[in-house]
Every structure is written in structure tokens, then in C-alpha cells.
Amino acid sequence: DSGVTQTPKHLITATGQRVTLRCSPRSGDLSVYWYQQSLDQGLQFLIQYYNGEERAKGNILERFSAQQFPDLHSELNLSSLELGDSALYFCASSEAGRTEAFFGQGTRLTVV
């Protein structure tokens, strides 16, 4: 158990809908990262937050947004969903000043 908790584990939704994925980082970790793993793309970095502030952005679509709350949990919002958004979404967290990130079990999103 990495200490990173993601909910829900599975999500099935229709095209055009909006969903929210939730992540609770390891206790004390200030950095939260979101990654997408689709079948043909491998693990792709989406976005990073550090203590509530956006720190880095990857190839995140404009339809996607994220935030980190004062209690350090993070949410990834995906809107106007398309079939191609079906993927595993992982959250990871790390301590300040450390490079090793610890991953949650992921949320499997299926868009039908």
C-alpha cells in the first residue's frame, strides 16, 4: 500500500458527460501529480500541484482541469468526455524535496 488513495476505482460514463476523480496523497506529501495511461500512449504526465498551487503542466487537454485543496487532496475534472478519454488515471504524491513519487491504484475510466 503506497498510502495514496484514489476514488473511485472504476467509472463508466457516457460521451459528453463530466466526471471528477479524487486523490488523497500520502500523509505529509505536498506534491500531487496526475498521469494518464491509455493503451497506446503509456504513462503521460498531465499536471502537478504543490501545496495548492499549480507547479507544472503536461499534455493536459483544455477539457480537463485539476485543483488541490487546503487539506492537500486533489481532484481531476474531465468534461465533455470522448471515447478516447477512456484510460487509467493515476495520482501520485511526493515529499517536498524528494524525487520519488508514490502512486495510487488508479481510476479506470470507461467512456461509452
Partner 1 sequence: DQQVKQNSPSLSVQEGRISILNCDYTNSMFDYFLWYKKYPAEGPTFLISISSIKDKNEDGRFTVFLNKSAKHLSLHIVPSQPGDSAVYFCAAIITGGGNKLTFGTGTQLKVEL
Interface residues with partner 1 (CB under 8 A)?
2, 4, 31, 33, 35, 42-45, 48, 50, 55-56, 58, 90, 92, 94, 99-106
Least Å distance between CB 63 and partner 1?
20
Identify any residues that bridge with 54 across adjacent strands, giving them in sequence order.
49
Single-letter residue type at 95: E
CB 24 within 8 A of CB 5: yes
> Closest approach of Cβ 44 to partner 1, in Å?
8
Indicate the residue among 35 and 81 with the shorter CB distance to partner 1. Answer: 35
d(CA 8, CA 22): 7
Residue whose entry in the numeric block shows the C-alpha cell 494518464: 36
Q: Which is nearer to partner 1, 9 or 63 (CB)?
A: 9
> Among residues 45 and 79, whose Cβ is nearest to partner 1?
45
Q: 28: which residues sit within 8 A by CB, 6+ positions away?
A: 95
**Nearest distance in Å: CB 106, partner 1:** 5
